[in-house]
Structure 1
């Protein structure tokens, strides 16, 4: 990877984001921004109050090549939902399978949580909910990250 790619990412329109182009957690990396990533990918985010199921906060439609997001979500919930649906967008997932959902959960968690920031937060508190709040992710995303990184314990 060239220095230009390291500092500016492969798309060139946003600063190098941890978890988007690589998993290098360096000081020059910006936190992962799913809205900027969606913009870089050309992935439309459509905000609606009426998603297909009442419990859905977001969903990807391969037919429309768009991500639909429930209006009025908290920042952490929207951030995590958009990150998750972007994985479906990148893989052009049709329908849902357990393996697709696990992949989207895992990749979104890896993008959203930087090891250096997690170490910093976990040095202050061992409370998973508090750590998730400090990292601006949901507790579910936090637990997903911890499940895939065995050096952390729940």
Structure 2
């Protein structure tokens, strides 16, 4: 039944990080990055994206970086930075993967890769959302979080 959820999954895919950043007045710069897919630079008020990302990877990275902006995060080092990274992943995953979309698509998806493709997200965002929906304690969430 692949593709049967396509119309449903479009709902979550309506979240457009590019448009949100544009409304925020935050430019996106693409450049070679050695060990990350993206970064928020508060001092320059710019999001930096690694060159060569797929559109799905780019969308997920931008959603993550938006959450850093909204939280007022200034860095990602140490324990505080680790918590900030996890919260940015969680909040981005919630915006990118709606509960109904996730539940409908997992009914027929034969693998996590197929599920991620149907939902238009990376495997990392899919795993983060799945853990959120299962109430994983390391994310600090509940089973009813949507």
Question: Which runs of 5 or more residues in structure 2 are unaligned?
Answer: 1-7, 135-142
| 2:97 aligns with one of 113, 127, 143 | 113
User: Shift of residue 126 of structure 1?
Assistant: 4.7
| 2:24 is the alignment partner of 1:44 | no
The residue correspondences of 1:134-145 to structure 2 (distance < 5 A) are 134-145=118-129
Is the 8 Å Cα contact of residues 65 and 89 (structure 1) preserved in structure 2?
A: no
The residue correspondences of 1:15-30 to structure 2 (distance < 5 A) are none
Question: Which runs of 5 or more residues in structure 1 are unaligned?
Answer: 1-24
CA RMSD between the two structures? 2.1
Is the 8 Å Cα contact of residues 67 and 89 (structure 1) preserved in structure 2?
A: no
The runs of at least 4 consecutive aligned structure 1 residues that moved more than 4 Å come to 27-30
Distance across 1 between alignment mates of 2:15 and 2:93: 10
Instruction: State the match for 2:137 in structure 1.
Output: none
Distance across 2 between alignment mates of 1:31 and 1:135: 11
Is the 8 Å Cα contact of residues 61 and 67 (structure 1) preserved in structure 2?
A: yes
| Structure with greater helix percent | 2
Instruction: State the match for 2:84 in structure 1.
Output: 100
| 1:149 aligns with one of 120, 127, 133 | 133
| 2:62 is the alignment partner of 1:82 | yes
Compared with structure 1, are the counterparts of its residues 34 and 146 closer, same or farther at alpha carbon in structure 2 (3 Å cutoff)? same
Instruction: State the match for 1:61 in structure 2.
Output: 41
| 2:106 is the alignment partner of 1:122 | yes
Higher relative contact order (CA 8 A, sep 6+): 2
Is the 8 Å Cα contact of residues 13 and 119 (structure 2) preserved in structure 1?
A: no
- Give the TM-score normalised by the residue count of structure 2: 0.77
